[in-house]
Amino acid sequence: MELTEKIKQELSKDGLKLVRYPKLKNNKEAVLVAVKQNGWALEFASKKLRANKEVVLEAVKESDWVLQYASYDLTEDKDFMLEAVKQNGFAICKRGVER
């Protein structure tokens, strides 16, 4: 599925609508648009994008709780977690959230 301008606009208004487009869950541009609007959209991203530093950091800006959807390896990466804390100071509290 292609990310059309119409879908992009829809995701920029409500990132959680990513759930309506499962074929876009591996489309980095679509997921970035969604998580910038609502970090919780990370839940609907592909496993690959939940391990992508750029995508997860954008989501963390919106909510520290979304780290529960990030890959385990990413949350174990010291440099990544330092950057996440810079984005959202509460991120450090969510590091140990069970998956």
Decide if 93 contacts 69 (C-beta within 8 A).
no
Decide if 72 contacts 92 (C-beta within 8 A).
no
pTM above 0.85, yes or no: yes
Neighbours of 46 (CB within 10 A): 16
Cα 25 from Cα 42, distance rounded (Å): 9
Q: What is the pLDDT of residue 41?
A: 98
Q: Where are the domains of the chain?
A: 5-94
Q: Which residue has the tokens 């800006």?
A: 61
Q: What is the pLDDT of residue 97?
A: 45
pLDDT tens digits in sequence order for the chain, 99 residues long: 899 999 999 999 999 999 999 999 999 999 999 999 999 999 999 999 999 999 999 999 988 889 999 999 998 999 998 898 888 777 766 554 444
Paired tokens of 16: 């959680």
